[in-house]
């Protein structure tokens, strides 16, 4: 039996000829494969950071709207409810 890969998606491993062609093209453009890979990683990282910041901002905005509503459990300055009055 042959060796089975445990990866769900096999790693992309192009032949050396294709790597050389891509590297030659990038060098003609004033870049290298390592620089291109780093740029791609930077773009992915920036996109993730922007997405995460949008989620945090949306959550903070939602929580602030909830806090500002009258009779909110998070708002200590709101008027007391009937159940709180009964407990007192």
Handedness of CA 19, 14, 35, 31 (dihedral sign): positive
Nearest-angstrom CA–CA distance, 4 and 66: 53
Nearest alpha carbon to residue 79 among 88, 71, 68 = 71
For the chain, 88 residues long, the average pLDDT of each consecutive 10-residue run is 60 82 88 86 93 92 80 57 54
Nearest-angstrom CA–CA distance, 62 and 53: 14
pLDDT confidence of residue 22: 86
């Amino acid at each position: 039996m042959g060796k089975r890969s445990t990866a769900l998606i096999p790693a992309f491993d192009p032949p050396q000829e294709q790597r050389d062609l891509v590297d030659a093209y990038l060098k003609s453009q004033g870049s290298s494969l390592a620089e291109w890979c780093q740029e791609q990683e930077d773009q992915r990282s920036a996109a993730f950071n922007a997405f995460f910041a949008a989620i945090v901002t949306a959550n903070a905005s939602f929580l602030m709207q909830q806090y500002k509503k009258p009779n909110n459990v998070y708002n200590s300055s709101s008027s007391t409810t009937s159940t709180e009055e009964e407990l007192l």
